[in-house]
């Protein structure tokens, strides 16, 4: 109903446009007619299922990930990591991962909505496509590459945040490795190595430090892989949105 009423409104404006003789009104009518043609053309294209598949893939990937995490928790592996890490760096890595995953999910939802808006284009609804078309309207052909570059840069900035967060997980894991080795070596006293009574505490400290080093590295690496899979999904959706908006703009730039 909303699409039909919008098209009827555009048809009414286009029918009344020839009756206007003032130059300013004619320009407005031509611009409205151009937007009406772009709207009808976008709605006549085949349905693109990519926007729904984007959310579905994100849901399936993370359902699988959290399912495996639940199995590890039930097997006692998660508790073993938490108990062995005296620095609580593994927990910090996990919360950083959750923040990056939440941001990635929010961006995927935004990308999906923007793809919907391109498919069901309505110039009265604010969107990336409407903004790009407004800037493209009347723009010289030589400056269109500048607009396309600005669009790519703007959309790519939000994607880079997820990639940087994923990289920070590995960095935090390496920091945990260094801290673990420091803890392990802090209990070694060369002067008491020959004392049998002092060997036990030194070995205990050594094992504790090595556990911290290995577990933080493991947690950081696994969560990095998990988040990078989501990043690749977000990056592919962003590329799809950029190309869709640019193709849509070029198709109607000369109308």
Q: What is the pLDDT of residue 29?
A: 47
Say yes or no to pLDDT of 78 above 80.
Answer: yes
CA distances from 67 to 62, 73, 81, 91, 162 (A): 8, 10, 18, 19, 22
Instruction: Report the alpha-carbon distance of residue 216 to residue 88 in Å, rounded.
Output: 9
Domain boundaries, the chain: 45-253
Instruction: Report the alpha-carbon distance of residue 103 to residue 157 in Å, rounded.
Output: 13
For 91, residues 6+ apart whose C-beta sits below 8 A from its C-beta are 82, 85
pLDDT higher for 197 or 169? 169
In percent, the amount of the chain with pLDDT more than 70 equals 59
Q: What is the pLDDT of residue 232?
A: 93
Do 51 and 118 meet the contact criterion of CB atoms below 8 Å apart? no
pTM beyond 0.75, yes or no: no
Among residues 8, 41, 6, the alpha carbon closest in space to that of 254 is found at 41
pLDDT higher for 97 or 43? 97
In percent, the amount of the chain with pLDDT more than 90 equals 31
Say yes or no to pLDDT of 39 above 80.
Answer: no
Instruction: Report the alpha-carbon distance of residue 88 to residue 142 in Å, rounded.
Output: 56
Q: What is the pLDDT of residue 219?
A: 95
């Amino acid at each position: 109903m909303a699409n039909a009423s919008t098209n009827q409104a555009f048809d009414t404006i286009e029918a009344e446009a020839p009756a206007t003789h003032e130059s300013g009104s004619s320009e407005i009518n031509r611009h409205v007619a151009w937007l009406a043609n772009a709207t009808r053309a976008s709605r006549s294209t085949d349905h693109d299922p990519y926007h729904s598949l984007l959310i579905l893939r994100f849901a399936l990937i993370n359902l699988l990930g959290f399912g495996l995490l639940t199995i590890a928790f039930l097997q006692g592996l998660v508790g073993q990591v938490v108990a062995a890490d005296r620095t609580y760096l593994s927990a910090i890595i996990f919360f950083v991962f959750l923040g990056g995953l939440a941001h990635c999910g929010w961006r995927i939802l935004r990308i999906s909505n923007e793809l919907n808006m391109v498919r069901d284009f309505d110039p009265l609804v604010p969107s990336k496509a409407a903004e790009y078309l407004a800037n493209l309207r009347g723009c010289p052909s030589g400056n269109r590459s500048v607009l396309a570059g600005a669009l790519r840069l703007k959309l790519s900035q939000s994607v880079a945040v997820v990639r940087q967060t994923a990289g920070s997980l590995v960095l935090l894991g390496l920091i945990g490795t260094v801290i673990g080795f420091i803890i392990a070596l802090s209990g070694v006293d060369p002067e008491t190595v020959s004392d049998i009574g002092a060997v036990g505490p030194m070995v205990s400290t050594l094992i504790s430090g090595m556990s911290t080093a290995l577990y933080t590295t493991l947690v950081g690496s696994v969560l990095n892989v998990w988040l990078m899979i989501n990043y690749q999904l977000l990056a592919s959706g962003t590329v799809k949105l950029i190309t869709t908006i640019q193709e849509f703009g070029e198709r109607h730039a000369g109308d």
